[in-house]
């Protein structure tokens, strides 16, 4: 076994390699402009002495990189197409910047890339992770647990076995859905349809549950699965009109789904809200104001969700670094909590 | 000076701290769920032995993290509001993913945060960086040079002293601008205005130069500075109409600027293209197809620019890691080159 040794210095490496301090510094920082022969000599000296560059050494001691990863379990095309993510990132960015912590957004083309994300998280490049838009069969939660970085989730994760503790921030999806459907009922609508979100996400499942809370005996043909996208909303609305031409209300799982549904209703000559009242979820601007007619919807504060996720994570990191106040043992169970933000009805013209 | 030592193992740390390998692993990987007392013991053993965690040790030897940073010198609000960046990132993401390299997007609130980005780049978390949308007075280029990571720029950097070598990918901004203005001239327009981009960016300066190449004796009141945004386009168009009510053609520095200009022309009752012909730059979809009337523009392949930036960087990293083919000395000067992609005229209805 190795005995305790003084940590070797940059000077020691320079002396052994027979080069200047600057050259060693350039080589170990991955910099350009050093001849390969010298690079080799420096690397050999580094290996022989077991030298750890300053930054890595410092991180090893303080365990702080002042950087937080954000992982969105969606392809980058969707991250940039759906304004939901930009809003959530806005909240995160403001909060991290206020604490001089770097936002490190790990983009992927799809779930095939999640293993690589897991490797990056495990590689000691960030202090923690903010993860959102999980799908039930995503490997990400397991990869993140394995990486061992403190994590806060956006949206309640859908662990099926109930054994995984998680800190998460969510909106009151079920309560908001109930408010939406009750609003349609209050307008005298009786044939109320629901276009769901992607049902492998807990937010979509919760909103469907809220719909069912109010419409316990709804005709099952009035529920069609969407995917939180405008195209999904169009497709679902066509199917609903074919199945149930007499429907008089639609609760769409989010605003961009509602925007797609409104286009199809107009195409088919239905007046909104006279023939069919439509309500969305999100209060995503400018979308909800620019639909024709402007969209009545359930507001959730997406930017605040992002801000709160970042705040909870930073607080957890601070607690861990505070003197005498260490990380709790795994069974302490004090941070299993989800924070659930309220939702409110925003009335415009569509319902 | 320290003598050569065997690099201490995880086992050695575990033995010295009197804990299991798993506990050491969890502590050095920044993981949760270890009692503070044990964390302290492990940290002490790590310090005493000068232990380097595997990942860091491996990176130190191979100097590969299989991760590339992307830095956009704009606030995150702009990154998500301007589709230009999403397109460039799309090209980058496809290319990096094809090479199993993680895209690490470093977002900021503004240039006050660039020092922190520089620290992250210097911290040994990525193999290289792709940097775009630089402004003349940005500190980023200096910070990046200091960080010493191989870098490819999107858009020709505007070094004033000409001494800094840089690899960059750009479009033929000047040639494209000439094509745009010649097209307006070919339509018989004689009072042709130019709404510039942000003139602290080389792309805007090059497009202005292209405008001047064709309109050498243009009335200076026909040139108004914009900022590549729709609001900037609206403001500039109002100013132009106030100054020169007889103008009959507008070359806008990009499509979203042109979209703003079109809104103001409609407001003021000018018919496009009958009264005023308008041409943009980018061929940004769906923007250019959805303006009223659809926009004639100069096409640049933004996604391909991103792909090419990533490809050039990965090639450079491969070259550096290839056996017997090391990084060149700083004065070798073989990679000063910029790659300039061609632009083409796309005719729609506005000119």
pLDDT tens per residue across span B44-86: 887 777 776 655 554 444 557 899 999 999 999 999 999 999 9
Q: How far is residue A351's CA from residue B82's CA, in Å, rounded to a whole number?
A: 32
Instruction: State mean pLDDT over A228-237.
Output: 97
Burial class (CB in 10 A: 0-12, 13-18, 19+), A307: buried
Residues A181 and A328 in one domain: no
The reported pLDDT for the residue numbered B49 is 79
Instruction: Find which of A3, A24, A32 to mutate to test the B interface (most B CBs within 10 Å of its CB).
Output: A32
Q: Is B5 within a domain?
A: no
**Is the CB of residue A200 less than 8 Å away from at least one CB of chain B?**
no
CA distance B123 to chain A (A): 6
Report the mean per-residue pLDDT for chain A: 88
Q: Give the per-residue pLDDT at A164.
A: 66
- Is residue A88 a contact partner of residue A132, using CB atoms and an 8 Å limit? yes
- Shortest Cα distance from B343 to chain A (angstroms)? 25
Are the Cβ atoms of A76 and B90 closer than 8 angstroms? yes
- Regarding whether B97 and B25 lie in a shared domain, the answer is no
Residue-wise burial string across B214-247, b where 16 or more C-beta atoms lie within 10 A, e elsewhere: bbeebeeebbbbbbbbbebbbbbbbbbbeeeeeb
Rounded-to-integer distance, Cα B167 and Cα B334, Å:
10
Q: Which of residues 295-334 of A touch B (CB under 8 A)?
A: 324-327, 329-330
* Partners of residue A148 in chain B, C-beta under 8 Å: 26, 29-32
Going by C-alpha positions, the residue among A169, A163, A167 that lies closest to residue A331 is A163
Residue A75 in this model has a pLDDT that exceeds 80: yes
Distance (Å) from the alpha carbon of A7 to chain B's nearest alpha carbon: 6
pLDDT at A337: 78
On whether residue B3 sits in a domain, the answer given is no
For B109, which of A16, A39, A94 is closest by C-beta distance? A94
Give the mutation candidate from B107, B108, B331 for the A interface (greatest A CB count, under 10 A). Answer: B107
Cβ contacts of A238-242, under 8 Å, gap ≥ 24: A238/A264, A240/A193, A240/A195, A241/A265, A241/A268, A241/A270
Distance (Å, rounded) from C-alpha B164 to C-alpha B166?
Answer: 6
- Asked if B111 and B177 sit in the same domain, the reply is no
Closest-approach residue (CA) in chain A for B47:
A61
Q: What is the mean pLDDT of residues B140-160?
A: 88
From the list A86, A107, A148, the residue facing B105 with the nearest CB is: A107
Judge whether A350 lies within some domain.
Answer: no
In this structure, the answer to whether residues B93 and B154 fall within a common structural domain is yes
Last residue of a domain, one of B299, B314, B333: B299
Top-confidence residue, B228 or A329: B228
Q: Between these two residues, B255 and B137, which has the higher pLDDT value?
A: B255
Q: Which residues are CB-contacts of A119 (< 8 A; sequence separation ≥ 6)?
A: B66, B102
Would you say residue A81 lies in a domain?
yes
Give A15-35 as a 3 state SS string. Answer: HHHCCCHHHHHHHHCCCCCCC
Q: Which of residues 128-167 of B touch A (CB under 8 A)?
A: 147-150
Q: What percent of chain B has pLDDT over 70?
A: 87
- Domain tally, chain B: 3
- What's the CA dihedral at A205, A206, A210, A212 to 10 degrees? 30
CA distance B131 to chain A (A): 15
Contact indicator for A264, A292 with CB cutoff of 8 Å = no
Same structural domain for residues A118 and A227?
Answer: no
Provide the pLDDT confidence category of residue A31 given band limits of 50, 70 and 90.
low
Instruction: List, as ranges, residues 44-73 from B with C-beta within 8 Å of A.
Output: 46-50, 52-53, 55-56, 59-61, 63, 65-67
- Give the C-alpha separation, A253 to B219, whole Å: 55
Question: Among residues 88-117 of chain B, which lie with CB inside 8 Å of chain A?
Answer: 89-90, 93-94, 97, 100, 102-109, 113, 116-117
Tell me which of A27-36, B18-27, B325-334 is least confident. Answer: B325-334
Which has the higher per-residue pLDDT, A165 or B156?
A: B156
Cβ within 8 Å, pair B6-A49: no
- A248 and A326 co-located in one domain: no
Tokens of A252: 């769409």
Residue A288, C-beta contacts closer than 8 angstroms, at least 6 positions apart: A255, A280, A282, A294, A295, A297, A346, A348
Q: Residue B33 sits in a domain of what CATH number?
A: 1.10.260.40
Does a structural domain hold residue B51?
A: yes
Same domain flag for B180 and B289? yes
Per the structure block, which two tokens stand in for B71?
């830095």
Kindly tell me if the per-residue pLDDT of B161 is higher than 80.
no
| B80·A86 Cβ contact <8 A | yes
Same domain, B122 and B192: no
Ordered alpha helix ranges (H), B215-332? 230-243, 255-267, 287-290, 302-321
By CB atoms closer than 10 A (0-12, 13-18, 19+), residue A312 is buried
Q: Does B53 contact A60 at a Cβ distance shorter than 8 Å?
A: yes
Both A166 and A197 in a single domain? Answer: no
Rounded to the nearest angstrom, the minimum Cα separation between A174 and chain B is 29
Judge contact between A197 and A228, C-beta under 8 A: yes
B122/A47 CB distance under 8 A: no
Location of structure tokens 């659930």: A340
A155: in domain: yes
Q: Which residues of A touch B63 (CB under 8 A)?
A: 30
Instruction: Work out the pLDDT band at A61, boundaries 50, 70, 90.
Output: very low
Task: Compare CB distances from A109 to B9, B93, B326 and report the shortest one's residue.
Answer: B93
What is the average pLDDT across A277-289? 96
CATH of the domain at A108: 3.40.50.2300
Euclidean distance between CA atoms A231 and A259, whole angstroms = 9
Domain assignment present for B2: no
Residue ranges of B 263-302 with Cβ closer than 8 A to chain A: none
Closest CA in chain A for residue B27: A148
The partner residue sitting opposite B5, judged by closest CB among A15, A50, A80, is A50
**How close B133 comes to chain A (CA, Å)?**
18
Question: Which residues on chain A are in Cβ contact (under 8 Å) with B117?
Answer: 102
Per CB-CB distance under 8 Å, the chain B contacts of A313 are: none
Are B310 and B231 members of one domain? no
Identify whether residues A43 and A94 lie together within a single domain: no
Enumerate the residues of chain B whose CB falls inside 8 A of the CB of residue A83: 80
CA distance B114 to chain A (A): 10
B195 pLDDT band (50/70/90 cuts)? Answer: very high
pLDDT tens digits, one per residue of A93-123:
999 999 999 999 999 999 899 999 999 999 9
| Residue ranges making up the domain that contains B260 | 173-299
**What's the rounded Cα separation, in Å, for the pair A239 and A223?**
10
Please give the average per-residue pLDDT across A65-83, as a whole number.
94
User: Edge-to-edge strands of the sheet including A223-225?
Assistant: A223-225, A192-196, A249-252, A277-279
Give the least confident one: A13-22, A75-84, B227-236.
Answer: A13-22
Whether ipTM tops 0.85, in short, is no
Chain A residues in contact with B32 (beta carbon < 8 A) = 148, 150, 327, 330
Q: How far is A269 from chain B (nearest CA, A)?
A: 23
- The vertex-B286 CA angle with B251 and B344, nearest 5°, equals 45
- For B158, the token pair is 């505007």
Structural domain includes residue A228: yes
Same domain, B185 and B274: yes
């Amino acid at each position: 076994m190795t005995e305790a040794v003084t940590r070797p210095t940059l000077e020691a490496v320079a002396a052994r390699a027979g080069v200047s301090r600057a050259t060693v510094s350039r080589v170990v920082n991955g910099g350009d402009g050093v001849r390969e022969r010298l690079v080799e000599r420096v690397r050999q000296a580094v290996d022989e002495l077991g030298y750890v560059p300053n930054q890595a050494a410092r991180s090893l001691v303080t365990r702080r990189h002042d950087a937080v990863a954000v992982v969105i379990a969606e392809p980058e095309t969707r991250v940039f197409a759906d304004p939901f993510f930009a809003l959530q990132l806005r909240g995160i960015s403001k909060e991290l910047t206020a604490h001089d912590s770097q936002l490190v957004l790990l983009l992927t083309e799809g779930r095939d890339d999640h293993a690589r994300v897991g490797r990056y998280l495990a590689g000691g490049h960030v202090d923690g992770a903010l993860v959102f838009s999980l799908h039930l069969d995503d490997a990400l939660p397991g990869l993140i647990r394995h990486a061992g970085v403190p994590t806060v989730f956006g949206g309640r994760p859908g662990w099926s076995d109930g054994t995984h503790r998680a800190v998460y921030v969510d909106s009151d999806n079920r309560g908001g859905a109930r408010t939406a459907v009750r609003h349609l009922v209050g307008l005298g609508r009786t044939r109320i349809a629901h276009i769901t979100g992607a049902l492998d996400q807990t937010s979509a499942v919760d909103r469907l549950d809220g719909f069912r809370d109010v419409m316990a005996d709804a005709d099952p043909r009035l529920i069609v699965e969407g995917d939180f996208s405008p195209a999904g909303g169009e497709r679902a609305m066509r199917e609903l009109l074919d199945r149930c031409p007499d429907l008089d209300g639609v609760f769409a799982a989010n605003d961009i789904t509602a925007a797609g549904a409104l286009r199809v209703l107009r195409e088919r000559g239905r007046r909104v809200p006279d023939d069919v009242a439509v309500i969305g979820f999100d209060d995503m601007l400018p979308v909800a104001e620019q639909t024709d007619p402007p969209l009545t919807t359930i507001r959730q504060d997406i930017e605040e969700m992002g801000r709160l996720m970042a705040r909870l994570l930073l607080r957890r990191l601070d607690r861990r670094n505070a003197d005498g106040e260490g990380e709790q043992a795994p069974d302490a169970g004090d941070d299993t909590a989800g924070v659930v933000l309220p939702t409110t009805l925003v009335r415009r013209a569509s319902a």
